[in-house]
Structure 1
Amino acid sequence: MSPPKALVLTAPRTLVFEEGAFAPLAPDEVRIRTLFSGISAGTELTQYRGTNPFMHRRFDEAQRLFVDAEVPSWDWPVRNLGYEESGEIIEVGSGVTDLKVGQRLFGTWNHKTHHVASADYARERLLPEGADPRIGIFSHIGAVALNGVHDAQIRIGDTIAVFGLGVPGQIVAQAARASGARVIAIDPDAGRREIALRQGAHLAIEPAGAAEEIKRLTGGRGADACIEVSGAPPALGEAIRAAAYNARVVAMGFFQGAIPGLKLGEEFHHNRIQLICSQISGVSPDASYRWSKPRLWRAAIELQHDGTLDLIPLITHRAPFEDAPTLFEQLDAGAPGMLQAMLEFGA
C-alpha cells in the first residue's frame, strides 16, 4: 500500500502533497481510506487565497473577538484544507468489535488519502447501508444549508427568496421547498438558475430588479424570508430590499472585509428588517436543546438517502486526488458551469 498523502497549502494559491507513514492503530481506533473529498467554494477558497480572517488575526475564544496578534489562529503551512469527505474502513483496532472493514462513513478529515479516527467517531458517522458514498461529501455543507433554513424560521406556504445559487444556495432552495415554501431563486448565472428550477425551485430570476419582481409576485408584500448565500454585498442589499415588513433576512454568505455601499438607512431601517447571521459553529439558541451540529450532519445524509434532497447532480467537476491543484485553480478562476468540485481517490 502506498504511503498516505495529504494536500497542504504552503502559501496563497500554492499546494503541495505531503507524504506520511502508517502508524499502528490504538485498540479503539479505525483506519479510513478516503473515497471522495469535496472542495468548498466558500471557506476553503478563502484559505486558498489567503483572505480568511483566521489567517491574519487571532480569534479569542473567551471574548469571541478577532484580535491583532503576532501569530494568527491559522499559521502557514495550512493543513486543515477540506471538510467534506467520505471513506471506508480498511483496518480496525484490536478493541473494536462492532465495526468492520468495508463499512463506509462520512466526516471531516481534510484532503488526504487516509485518516485514523476513534471508533466513536466512526460509529456516529456511518453511511446508511447501500448509500451512494458520494452523498458523504455533502454532510457538512448540507448541515450549513439546513442550519440556514432553520434560522429562516420557514412556515408552510411562505415565499422564500434565495440569493446565490452556488452549492449551499442550491441546497437551501431544495430544503426550503421541502419545508413547504414557495421558492424564488436568484442568481446572475443562467445555468445555475436552470439547475435550481430542475431541482424544485418555483421561479428563478436575475438579480437586477429582483426586489421589485418579488414585491410584484407577492402583491406588494415581499418575501416572508430572504436567505443570502453568496457572500456578495449587492445580494445582501437586494435581499433586505426584497423582504416583507418585519421579515427576516438570513445572511449565510462569508463576507470578506468591509461592505461598502450597504444602505442601512433605507429599507432595512424603515421596514424593521431582522438581519440574522447563520453560521455552522452553532445552531439557533431556540432549537439548541434538540438540534446540534451532529444532528445537522446526520440529517444532511439521511435527507439525501431518502430522496428529500437530491445533491449528486450538483457535482459538476471531478479530478483524481493527484490533480487537486488544477481543480483548485479552476474553482478559484470561476470555471464556467462549476458547482461542486470533487476529488476522487480511486480503488
Structure 2
Amino acid sequence: MSASQPSALVLNAPRTLAFVPLEAAPLTSEQVRIRTLFSGVSAGTELSQYRGTNPFMHRRWDESSRLFVAADSPSWPYPVRNLGYEEVGEIVEVGGAVDDLRVGQRVFGTWGHRTHHIAQRDFVRDRLLPVGADARIGIFSHIGAVALNGVHDAGIRMGDLVAVFGLGVPGQIVAQAARASGATVVGVDPVKDRRDMAIALGADRVLDPREGSVAERIKADTGGRGADVCIEVSGASTALAEAIRTVAYSSRVVAMGFFQGEARGLQLGEEFHHNRIELVCSQISGVAPAASHRWSKLRLWQTAIRLQHEGRLNLLPLITHTVPFTEAPALFERIDAGEPGMLQSMLTFGTDA
C-alpha cells in the first residue's frame, strides 16, 4: 500500500488484515471531507474482532428483541469493515452549502481506520475539537465516554472508597474519573507498569491481586466494611468474582469489562448471595436510566474531550505506542501477543498534527 493512497483497513478473516483502496467520491452540498490524523486501536473490542471471538461475528443481533440469535449470516460477516472507533482528523473540503465549518478545523469521532472520511455537516459540527487542543485527545472520545458512563452507573458519592479492577486504558480513565468525582481510588492489576501508571495519574493506592486476596485486604483496611463501589474493567471473570467479594454489604459492583465466552469462577451462592450485592452492567449502547433525560452518548463523547482540554482528565500519558498506518497489521499482531508495556496504541497518518 502506498502511504499516499486513500485506503482503509479491513479484516478478511481472523487475524488477517488487509488494506483496501477508498474511492474519492465527490461531496454533496451538506457533506465534509476529513483527512484522518490519528486513530486509536482498542485492545478490547477490536481485539475480539481481530481474533474472531466477538459474538457479533458468530450470531445475529436482533434489534427488536435485543437478543443474539442463530442465523445463516452473522451481524459482522467477513470482510469486517468497521474496525476502529477512536479517530481524529482535519477538514480538507466542505460541500457547497456548508457555511459554518471551514478547512483546517479538527474533528473527533468514529469512522474507522482509514485515511479519509466523508461525514454530514451535523456530525462534524457536534464533534469539533476545542481550538488549540492537542489533536491526540480526540482518540479518547469514545473510550473516554465508555469510562464516564461506567462512573455514572457506579453512582459514586464524595468520600466513597472505589476499587477499580483492571488498569488497562478504560480502567485508567475510570480511576481518574472516579477520583475527580470525590472518591478515594484503589486500582487493582497484576501488571506493575499499569499500577505505576495509575499512581502517577492520581490513584490513591494500587494492589497486586497475585499477592493475596484483594477483598480481605480492603475489608481489613476498612474495619470489615469493604469498598463502597467496585468497578470491574478487565473483562476477567476472576476479577469480577473478587470485586463481588470486595464490595460492602448491599453495595454495587459495576461490570464494564467485555467478557469473552463463559464467565467461569463466579461463585454466586457465596458473597454475591449472602451480601445482597447489586451487580450492574455498564455498556455504551445506553446511559444510566435515571440520567437519560439529560445525558446521551453524544454528551458523553463531548464531555470526554472537554474534561481533557480542561485538564481534569490526563489521558495522553496512556499513549505508549505510536506507529504509521501502513504498519497497522504488525501492530495488531503485537497487541494480540500481549506485548509488555503497551496501553493505548495509536496509528498516525503521515501528518504534522
Residue 2 of structure 1: how far off its partner (Å) = 3.9
* Letter aligned with residue 10 of structure 1: N
Aligned residue pairs, count: 347
- Contact residue 3 and residue 21 of structure 1 kept, 8 A: no
Normalised by the length of structure 2, the TM-score is 0.97
- Contact residue 319 and residue 345 of structure 2 kept, 8 A: yes
Note the 1:86-101 alignment, pairs <5 A: 86-101=88-103
**2: CA distance between counterparts of 1:4 and 1:26?**
19
Residue 157 of structure 1: how far off its partner (Å) = 0.1
- 1:116 is aligned to 118
- 1:341 is aligned to 345
2:253 counterpart of 1:252? no
- Contact residue 27 and residue 95 of structure 1 kept, 8 A: yes
- 2:287 is aligned to 283
Of 241, 265, 268, which residue of structure 2 is paired with 1:264?
268
Note the alpha carbon deviations across 1:14-46, whole angstroms, 9 max, x for none: 000001221110000000000000000111100
**1: CA distance between counterparts of 2:237 and 2:4?**
46
What 5-or-longer segments of structure 1 have no aligned partner? Answer: none
Note the alpha carbon deviations across 1:248-267, whole angstroms, 9 max, x for none: 00000000111122100000
Note the 1:75-224 alignment, pairs <5 A: 75-207=77-209, 208-224=212-228
**1: CA distance between counterparts of 2:100 and 2:301?**
22
- 1:239 is aligned to 243
What 5-or-longer segments of structure 2 have no aligned partner? Answer: none
Per the alignment, in what secondary structure is the counterpart of residue 241 of structure 1? helix
Of 325, 329, 339, which residue of structure 2 is paired with 1:325?
329
**1: CA distance between counterparts of 2:336 and 2:290?**
37
**2: CA distance between counterparts of 1:174 and 1:64?**
32
Note the 1:13-28 alignment, pairs <5 A: 13-28=15-30
Per the alignment, in what secondary structure is the counterpart of residue 259 of structure 2? coil
**2: CA distance between counterparts of 1:324 and 1:46?**
16
Stretches of 4+ moved more than 4 A in 1?
Answer: none
Q: CA RMSD in A?
A: 0.8
Residue 218 of structure 1: how far off its partner (Å) = 1.4
* Letter aligned with residue 107 of structure 2: L
**2: CA distance between counterparts of 1:191 and 1:217?**
24
Per the alignment, in what secondary structure is the counterpart of residue 172 of structure 1? helix
Note the alpha carbon deviations across 1:221-278, whole angstroms, 9 max, x for none: 0000000000001000000000000010000000011112210000000000000000
Task: Give identity over the alignment, percent.
Answer: 70
Note the alpha carbon deviations across 1:101-138, whole angstroms, 9 max, x for none: 00001000000000000011100000000000000000
Residue 4 of structure 1: how far off its partner (Å) = 1.3
**1: CA distance between counterparts of 2:67 and 2:22?**
35
**2: CA distance between counterparts of 1:186 and 1:298?**
28
Per the alignment, in what secondary structure is the counterpart of residue 213 of structure 1? helix
